[in-house]
Structure 1
Amino acid sequence: MTTCVLAVHAATTGVTAAAVDATGAVRARGHRELAQHRPAPGQVEHAPEEIWQAVLGAVREVLDRVQAGELASVAITNQRDTVLLWDRETLGSPRRAVAGQDRRTGEVCERLRAAGHEARVAELTSRGLSPGAPGPTLAWLAEHEPRTWALVEEGRYAVGTLDSYLVARMTRGLEHVTDVSNASRTLLHDLGSGDWSAELCGVFGVPLDALPEVVPSGGEVARTDPRVFLGLALPVAGLVADRSATHLGLAGLGAGDASWDDTASSLLVTTGRRLVRSAGALTTAVWRSPDGTDTFALEVTTGADRSSESWSGLRDAAPDLVSLRVEHDADERLCQDLGHRLGLDVHRAGSPDAAALRGAALLARTP
């Protein structure tokens, strides 16, 4: 019986795979650690082949516990902002992936800011020029690794986020796709139009045709090739960044529903299909329905500071809150403080299973 979704979560320090059944329960789980490479101060990278081998290893553990015939589809959720290059034919990568924690692009951002680009970038993306975003990272690569970048411009190398890379590997290079929750973090995507922006690509010097197609977050968008994916021929039916997946896994579907992610130190509040802007929060697209409509949210990130003072602007940034949900193992004292600041009861997830896996699996079940 094909009752489970194979959910794959490619995170900062490891890859987790799980067979998630129709109730949201995890039937089997596998995990592989992932090394971070730090070639210079402020630089954080991952080896693409190590990412792929970690995925295969985690999925093998799942297949040790459930039959392949019990798997109905694949869902991918991933760390936001990491960007990769790979050869469209061989799928080999000319360099390591640059992680979202990387800060090498400070000079690039300052130069673009001095040239007057930041206001327009923020208008289209709701984000300022920040190190770690793929747009500035790709501009840095073009400047510092021109031989590699020439092959991007010639069309030999594809550019994408982690979800794009994993789909390419699972399909033997036949598909080059991403979803809106990943695209909207790149500084290359126009929130209003819902697609890549030629204007923004011009700012950062990124060829439009190197980027993946932006497809729905739920519903079949590709099919795995059993010759490269452990004998599995499954529809890829869920693509979503892990912060959005966690939000969805904690039942953040309705307008005003909020979730707190302790790992990301961020509050996400669904605003529905309205693109709402707030001075105290970032506007982001959290997922795209099969009919092509986007669901938006406001996000407030507190960073490492978790003191009471860091919550002071949250209610101003998201005044229409109706519920607040946190993961099963979220810090009790922090949750009490957050609930008090926002004037809401805190609802804790009943299951200790990772909300990101449940959220990705839920999207894969979207008709």
Structure 2
Amino acid sequence: MTTCVLAVHAGTTGVAAAAVDAAGTVRARGHHELAQHRPAAGQVEHAPDEIWQAVLGAVRGVLGHVDASGLGSVAITNQRDTVLLWDRETLGSPRPTVAGQDRRTTQVCAALREAGHEARVEELTGQGLEPGRAAPALAWLAEHEPRTWALVEEGRYAVGTVDSYLVARMTRGLEHVTDVSNAARTLLHDLEGGGWSGELCSLFGVPVDALPELVPSWGGAATTDPRAFLGLSLPVAALVADRSAAHLGLGCLDAGDASWDDAASSLLVTTDRRPVRTAQVLTTAAWRSPDGADTFALEVASGVDRSSEWLPGVREAAPELASLRVEDGVDDRLCHDLGERLGLDVRRASAPDATLRGAALLALRPR
């Protein structure tokens, strides 16, 4: 069998896994449902161990169809906003995650906004003060669960996004790493500086030492421990947030390339090696190459209905913009509407599973 990448996508309601060959063809798939828990109004959580068990279940589904000897590496992609805590030694978690859809931090964000911090947060991160991001969630935990937070400050508990938790589980706690596409959504990352911001960590009360090391999005960040990961000893060859993975899976590699995420109603436009600031549009880091260079993107999460507000800024920042790539299966009427409103040629992907394929193809890129 041709050597494949084992791609794992940890989403909000389930985990998908696939064996993907060098041509981007999916040879086998696995899937495992993941429960969302809603302990109170506006609160959305996952049980960390349920995430891990869902990963193992999805990977077992792949291994039921391919020989493990045909797998050459692992690529991890995940939804970006969920934040977790876990014990560095036991890997057990003291509490559920705070998921990206959670709105318990609305008052935290409002208080910071009223105190005049939003402009500085936007300057450093390219993002606004929004509920559902990691930094406000961690500030909420520090205030409402001080005993748990004390162990974060003491260094016993690690803090991270879903990818960093999965790497910790796969390596039996040996590695604590993440990539820039995940870090850029936390409100703790300095977009220009490229690392965790001491200023932002101080603002939100998060110890820098609790956060993962930032590593390139591909090129090898760790090796899985077979005792923890279904007998598999594989290099973790790619870490990338699912929005960036889907962008890559749709063939968006260069400046001006644009993709549409139907589930999130969002547009992503690559702007190459420079962060671009423009009104009505988020600026984010899309991925980091092994040489340390970041590729940036503009992200519009408000949908196409408000295109008249943000489209001029996007066109100024990315004058190469000419076409929009979408996954196969997006409604024909929506594709027509997108093309008409944005003045772009809409191109459908030639293959499904853009997120898994994008993560796998990233893992296959040269260092």
Please give the range of the TM-score, normalised by the shorter of the 2 chains.
over 0.9
RMSD of equivalent CA atoms: 1.0
Q: CA deviation at 1:240?
A: 0.5
Partner letter of residue 167 of structure 1? V
Aligned to 1:313: 309
**Aligned partners of 1:334, 1:310: CA distance in 2, in Å?**
15
**Aligned partners of 1:214, 1:365: CA distance in 2, in Å?**
20
Q: CA deviation at 1:2?
A: 5.7
Aligned to 1:169: 169
**Aligned partners of 1:28, 1:100: CA distance in 2, in Å?**
29
Aligned to 2:123: 123
Flag as ranges the 4+ runs of structure 1 deviating above 4 A. none
SS at match of 2:361: helix
Q: Which runs of 5+ in 1 are unaligned?
A: none
SS at match of 2:225: coil
Per-residue CA deviation, residues 299-320 of structure 1 (Å, 9 max, x unaligned), is 00125xx6xx433234213102
Q: Is the 8 A contact 2:139 2:206 kept in 1?
A: yes
**Aligned partners of 1:331, 1:235: CA distance in 2, in Å?**
38
Partner letter of residue 262 of structure 1? D
Aligned to 1:185: 185
Q: Is the 8 A contact 1:311 1:338 kept in 2?
A: no
SS at match of 2:276: coil
Aligned to 2:4: 4
Q: Is the 8 A contact 2:195 2:214 kept in 1?
A: yes
Partner letter of residue 264 of structure 1? A
TM-score by length of 2: 0.97
Aligned to 1:156: 156
**Aligned partners of 2:350, 2:167: CA distance in 1, in Å?**
31
Aligned to 1:365: 364
Q: CA deviation at 1:136?
A: 0.3
SS at match of 1:203: helix
Q: Is the 8 A contact 2:259 2:267 kept in 1?
A: yes
**Aligned partners of 2:276, 2:308: CA distance in 1, in Å?**
20
SS at match of 2:222: strand
**Aligned partners of 1:189, 1:133: CA distance in 2, in Å?**
12
* Residue correspondences, number: 362
> Percent of counterpart pairs with the same letter?
76
**Aligned partners of 2:2, 2:107: CA distance in 1, in Å?**
51
**Aligned partners of 2:238, 2:205: CA distance in 1, in Å?**
30
Partner letter of residue 318 of structure 1? V
Structure 1 residues 257 and 170: CA distance shift in structure 2, 3 A: same
SS at match of 1:297: strand
Aligned to 2:278: 278
Partner letter of residue 127 of structure 2? R
Per-residue CA deviation, residues 36-58 of structure 1 (Å, 9 max, x unaligned), is 00000000000000000000010
Partner letter of residue 95 of structure 2? R
TM-score by length of 1: 0.97
Q: Is the 8 A contact 1:178 1:215 kept in 2?
A: yes
Aligned to 1:100: 100
Q: Which runs of 5+ in 2 are unaligned?
A: none
Q: Is the 8 A contact 1:74 1:234 kept in 2?
A: yes
Q: Is the 8 A contact 1:15 1:58 kept in 2?
A: yes
Aligned to 2:354: 355
SS at match of 1:97: coil
Q: CA deviation at 1:332?
A: 1.0
Per-residue CA deviation, residues 73-110 of structure 1 (Å, 9 max, x unaligned), is 00000011100000000000000011000000111111
**Aligned partners of 2:348, 2:116: CA distance in 1, in Å?**
44
**Aligned partners of 2:312, 2:99: CA distance in 1, in Å?**
31
Q: Is the 8 A contact 1:2 1:72 kept in 2?
A: no
**Aligned partners of 2:227, 2:41: CA distance in 1, in Å?**
40
Write the mapping of 1:1-367 to structure 2, written as runs, cut at 5 A: 3-302=3-302, 309-319=305-315, 320=319, 321-351=321-351, 353-367=352-366
**Aligned partners of 1:2, 1:152: CA distance in 2, in Å?**
44
**Aligned partners of 1:364, 1:189: CA distance in 2, in Å?**
24
Q: Is the 8 A contact 2:2 2:21 kept in 1?
A: no
**Aligned partners of 1:315, 1:116: CA distance in 2, in Å?**
28
SS at match of 1:219: strand
Q: Is the 8 A contact 2:322 2:345 kept in 1?
A: no
Partner letter of residue 153 of structure 1? E
**Aligned partners of 1:184, 1:145: CA distance in 2, in Å?**
25
**Aligned partners of 2:19, 2:310: CA distance in 1, in Å?**
36
Partner letter of residue 336 of structure 2? Q
Q: CA deviation at 1:251?
A: 0.9
SS at match of 1:80: coil
SS at match of 1:182: helix
**Aligned partners of 1:177, 1:43: CA distance in 2, in Å?**
27
Q: CA deviation at 1:3?
A: 1.3
